[in-house]
Amino acid sequence: MLDDMIATCSSIGEGMEQDAVIGSTEEIEERYNGRFLEFIKLLVLVNKNEQLFPKQCRTCGTSFDSLSEYLCATIPKAHSWQDCEEVMGKPFTMMYRHCTCGNTLVLTLTEATFPRLRELWSMLRDEAEKNGRHLDEVAKEFSEQCDNYMFTHVFAGDAKLSCNHSGHVEKNK
């Protein structure tokens, strides 16, 4: 299972500089949309939220202890982030991912876990409108930047010890 996770992580991190685990503020600003980054950093705060994690795949039993682990060890399904506020009558976001076993996983965010959820979608809608793009496309870009940030700045740090023990650090270089 760890092998799968590392493999998934490596593919997410592909094309990114491996030594950029702790980049300078300038490097970070260049790689990410600044408006996305503000919300991505807020997501780091729910990384180990007890209402969300641990989360388990019902099909294969894989357990995810944190948001960074969840995002690194799964694959986004389409644009992944889906705003369901209209249907649910309150801020309600579903994040669709594929487990490595093939099962579809859904992580739900509400204002209880992410207070600025509505603001996040206003920002994404504004970005879409401003640039004449479809919201799904912008949501996908946000999802990708979020995955990259979590992989580079959060998960890589968390996983360092277990990676060292199994020799995967070499593989990732």
**What is the binding site for Zn ion (CB under 5 A)?**
57, 59-60, 62, 99, 101, 103
| Token pair listed for 37 | 């980054």
Whether the Cβ atoms of residue 21 and residue 38 lie closer than 8 Å to each other? no
Q: Of 76 and 91, which CB lies nearer to Zn ion in the complex structure?
A: 76
Question: Cα–Cα–Cα angle for 155, 157, 163, nearest 5°?
Answer: 85
Whether the Cβ atoms of residue 161 and residue 15 lie closer than 8 Å to each other? no
Q: Of 40 and 57, which CB lies nearer to Zn ion in the complex structure?
A: 57
Q: How far is the CB of 9 from Zn ion (least distance, A)?
A: 16
Q: How far is the CB of 96 from Zn ion (least distance, A)?
A: 14
- Taking alpha carbons only, the member of 156, 152, 158, 147 closest to residue 36 is 147
Q: How far is the CB of 60 from Zn ion (least distance, A)?
A: 3
Q: Of 11 and 164, which CB lies nearer to Zn ion in the complex structure?
A: 11
CA–CA distances in Å: residue 44 to residues 51, 67, 103, 157, 167: 15, 8, 25, 13, 27
Q: Of 58 and 173, which CB lies nearer to Zn ion in the complex structure?
A: 58
Residues 6+ apart with CB under 8 A from 29: 37
Q: Of 99 and 146, which CB lies nearer to Zn ion in the complex structure?
A: 99
- Taking alpha carbons only, the member of 78, 81, 138 closest to residue 108 is 81
Q: How far is the CB of 46 from Zn ion (least distance, A)?
A: 22
155 beta partners: none
